[in-house]
Amino acid sequence: MSTPTPATSPGASRSSVRSTVHGYPRIGPDRELKRASESYWRGATTARELDAVAADLRRGVYAQLREAGIDDIPSNTFSYYDHVLDTAVLFDLVPSRFAPPAAAGDRDEELRRYFALARGDQGAPPLEMTKWFDTNYHYLVPELSPSTRPRLVGDKPVAEFREAAAAGFPTRPVLLGPLTFLLLSKAADEAPGGWEPLQLLDQLLDAYAQLLGDLRAAGATEVQLDEPILATDEGRAAVGHLERVYQRLGSLTERPSLLVSTYFGSVGAAALRVLKDSPVEAVGLDLVTDDEGVDDLVKVSGLGGTRLVAGVVDGRNVWRADVPAAVAGLGTLLALADELTVSTSCSLLHVPLDLDAETSLAPELHGSLAFARQKAEEVALLARVLSEGVEAEYADRNGGARGPAFTDARVRARLDALGPGAYERPQERGLPTDTPLTTTTIGSFPQTSELRRARAAYRRGELAEDAYEGMLREEIDRVVALQEEIGLDVLVHGEPERNDMVQYFAERLEGYATTENGWVQSYGSRCVRPPILFGDVSRPGPMTVEWTAYAQSRTDRPVKGMLTGPVTMLAWSFVRTDQPLGETARQVGLALRDEVADLERAGIRHVQVDEAALRELLPLREERRGEYLDWAVSAFRLATSGVSPSTVIHTHMCYSEFGLIVGGIDALDADVTSVEAARSRMELVRDLGGRGRGRGIGPGVYDIHSPRVPPVEEIEGALRLMVAHVDAGNLWVNPDCGLKTRGYAEVEQALRNMVEAARRVRADLPGA
């Protein structure tokens, strides 16, 4: 037996390993920011009161990070609404439909203008909102044009730095990097064709230079510039600009040290080499999302004297770190950089604040989770282990261990036993409908405040199950009767029993847990509580059959069943990482397959499986997209291929930028695909409607995101254009998404207009 070599602490030779995080949740332990901003918007509180809440929240964050043991605390990670918007306002990159910057000291006007950009104002529609990379956080898209003049007009980063310093917290201000900012912005409608925001780069760099000088003067020693765009193909292709940006900012004489942070994936050796060779002092890399970050470091022969900020703790999922594995990985990194800081893979904005606020999770699950506060502690622990070698503290912190509660042999056996036939529907299936321009809706009807109140009371145990369910049946009666009276062809039950299209199913599936307090910011004051998919998924019993069958019993017209698809169930949850996503998606697909079969058995002839997030989960890099679409498509097909050829499978997607996934949508093999189509409707109709007879396409004929009621003539005009391009038998007529956020008054009128428009166009079809 060989004598074990004495354990040398990996960091024995080095005392300089530090800890930091890229950012932290802003909303507060009890969603204080949501409440404070909503009350300010209602006019119930003043700007001063809102500012006071925000200042408390910021102080709370700094204190929490210090308590967790974080050495280098970030600031300017707070935002009243969104950090991209903050950046646009800071540099006066605001479209001319909004007021000019407020006079100095007019805080009310300053906030009014800021929130107008986010939420709109009489006459001025807000900036467009879109998803931040492949997360469920939304940012506001700056609109730039050749007449935009970037200039530093605000002082938020400086003010928050000073505020923190005064409270005893020296911090590292975080800014959105200029390259990412410009590549995420769009050319305003009035910009000439071919003009792009990057043309403002030099002017914007002048403004950044001025800000860096101001921060230095205020005493900041280091500033973080976030460049997550480098994880995308577009960002990787912009290395020339990257070089220009950091040569320029790095060569300023009066400036703080610069940390260029990247996240949401590796950046490639070319970008890394540019950063290494530029005068910036530190580079942050995401070493969690994929395996290529370390390869890149090897390709550039390490970072040399540039400090490596190693994102080794997953900033966007909720699992505890596997500390021994992370220590081993960091050991390798020590050979690739002279200076090392341990960090999260991205801002902790994307996870809930504190696991300690969860009191009812099963102990085994609770023990394998870490929220933001726990992740900060993990980062601090890792830095301490590397610097001081305190193995005893982490020996048991193996986050990767999964107990028997997480696996279900029956699910695995069932999946293994499936042959290829389980993923195929017969090609001969008849037509989904005999009427051209069949009218339908996307699923939900307005969720009245009465319904919401009843559900809350039922959940608190204050309303008996019988009474609650009686209410739901009455609601379904009303919704079915209304649809018949309006004259819709394929009806829905209206989804009155659902709070949310993912949570509803998560609560009814094994392998899923929901949290009490696990709020994450989605946009502005809107927060969501993503469920946690921790183990093998199975369906203990029917989830929707009772309600759909009840609706069907009230009408002779077909009622369409409504389910949430596997990709969307994953995209809006925190998902286990101990097996490939595709495997988890298949388990969800199998559970849904059972539900679809039960719906069919209950006499339901149309089933819609919503894949609202199919586009969102698309990998940022093209080379990974094929594999993603393969598993996404198989999981959907597993869910939907068990039915008879005469059952009509629908799917729905909430966006219209299909360019990248048209092939995937086609491969889903749904009989009818409904999509949001407010903008590029005709392209869509051609792309999706021309796939042969029997492949239905339902381009949303009106925008449900606005309360506006579309006149009959407008819908009629759109339909006439469409029938000129595709077989009317393939065209379905529907709104562009569910109606749950609207009121009955507008929904009734809009649907009546839609049905009338379809009737008029049908009447003029050849042979009608």
Question: Annotated catalytic sites, by residue?
Answer: 705
Helix axes 465-486, 545-553, angle to 10 degrees: 50
User: Based on CB atoms, which residue is closest to ligand GLN, 300 or 675?
Assistant: 675
The answer to the question of residue 738 lying near ligand GLN (CB under 6 A) is: yes
User: Based on CB atoms, which residue is closest to Zn ion, 158 or 688?
Assistant: 688
The answer to the question of residue 737 lying near ligand GLN (CB under 6 A) is: yes
The answer to the question of residue 77 lying near ligand GLN (CB under 6 A) is: no
Of 118, 119, 117, 130, whose CA–CA distance to 657 is shortest? Answer: 130
The answer to the question of residue 740 lying near ligand GLN (CB under 6 A) is: yes
Give me the residue label for tokens 């890149």: 296
Give me the residue label for tokens 């990379």: 133
Of 321, 358, 739, 344, whose CA–CA distance to 529 is shortest? Answer: 358
Binding at 575: pick from ligand GLN, Zn ion, none (beta carbon under 5-8 Å per type)? none
From 80-88, 212-220, 538-546, 652-660, span contacting Zn ion (CB under 5 A): 652-660
From 240-248, 402-410, 436-444, 692-700, span contacting ligand GLN (CB under 6 A): 436-444
User: Based on CB atoms, which residue is closest to Zn ion, 57 or 672?
Assistant: 672
Q: Are 488 and 751 in contact (CB under 8 A)?
A: yes
Say how far apart CA 614 and CA 591 lie, in whole Å. Answer: 19
User: Based on CB atoms, which residue is closest to Zn ion, 53 or 653?
Assistant: 653
Residue 543's alpha-carbon distances to 494, 547, 577, in angstroms, are: 15, 9, 26
Of 425, 409, 420, 422, whose CA–CA distance to 590 is shortest? Answer: 422
What binding mask, one character per residue, do residues 178-207 give for ligand GLN by CB under 6 A, x or -? ------------------------------
The answer to the question of residue 677 lying near Zn ion (CB under 5 A) is: no
Contacts of 193 (CB under 8 A, 6+ apart): none
Of 215, 130, 201, whose CA–CA distance to 164 is shortest? Answer: 215
The answer to the question of residue 136 lying near ligand GLN (CB under 6 A) is: no
Binding at 444: pick from ligand GLN, Zn ion, none (beta carbon under 5-8 Å per type)? ligand GLN
Neighbouring-strand partners of residue 259: 224, 282
Burial class (CB in 10 A: 0-12, 13-18, 19+), 323: buried
Helix axes 625-640, 581-601, angle to 10 degrees: 20
From 343-351, 444-452, 587-595, 648-656, span contacting Zn ion (CB under 5 A): 648-656
User: Based on CB atoms, which residue is closest to ligand GLN, 495 or 598?
Assistant: 495
Of 418, 417, 408, whose CA–CA distance to 576 is shortest? Answer: 408
- Least distance (Å) between residue 475 CB and ligand GLN: 15
The answer to the question of residue 562 lying near ligand GLN (CB under 6 A) is: yes
In this chain, which of 117, 654, 751, 761 binds ligand GLN, going by CB under 6 A?
654
In this chain, which of 183, 591, 654, 675 binds Zn ion, going by CB under 5 A?
654
Q: Are 643 and 649 in contact (CB under 8 A)?
A: yes
Residue 150's alpha-carbon distances to 199, 203, 251, 345, 418, in angstroms, are: 11, 6, 20, 31, 59
In this chain, which of 303, 342, 509, 612 binds ligand GLN, going by CB under 6 A?
612
What binding mask, one character per residue, do residues 440-459 give for ligand GLN by CB under 6 A, x or -? --xxx---------------
Furthest CA-CA distance within the chain = 91
- Least distance (Å) between residue 654 CB and Zn ion: 3
User: Based on CB atoms, which residue is closest to Zn ion, 27 or 737?
Assistant: 737
Q: Are 308 and 341 in contact (CB under 8 A)?
A: yes
Q: Are 92 and 151 in contact (CB under 8 A)?
A: yes
The answer to the question of residue 334 lying near Zn ion (CB under 5 A) is: no
Binding at 315: pick from Zn ion, ligand GLN, none (beta carbon under 5-8 Å per type)? none
- Least distance (Å) between residue 497 CB and ligand GLN: 12
Amino acid of residue 672 = V
Of 388, 339, 323, whose CA–CA distance to 11 is shortest? Answer: 388
Say how far apart CA 507 and CA 311 lie, in whole Å. Answer: 33
From 147-155, 261-269, 391-399, 654-662, span contacting Zn ion (CB under 5 A): 654-662
Q: Give residues 354-373 in contact with ligand GLN (rule: CB under 6 A).
A: none
End-to-end Cα separation, the chain, in angstroms: 90
The answer to the question of residue 737 lying near Zn ion (CB under 5 A) is: yes
- Least distance (Å) between residue 389 CB and ligand GLN: 51
The answer to the question of residue 111 lying near ligand GLN (CB under 6 A) is: no
Of 194, 168, 41, whose CA–CA distance to 111 is shortest? Answer: 41
Say how far apart CA 113 and CA 109 lie, in whole Å. Answer: 6
- Least distance (Å) between residue 488 CB and Zn ion: 18
User: Based on CB atoms, which residue is closest to ligand GLN, 244 or 652?
Assistant: 652
- Least distance (Å) between residue 704 CB and ligand GLN: 9
The answer to the question of residue 493 lying near ligand GLN (CB under 6 A) is: no
Write out the residues near ligand GLN by the rule CB under 6 A. 442-444, 495, 501, 562, 610, 612, 652, 654, 737-738, 740
Binding site for Zn ion (CB under 5 A): 654, 737
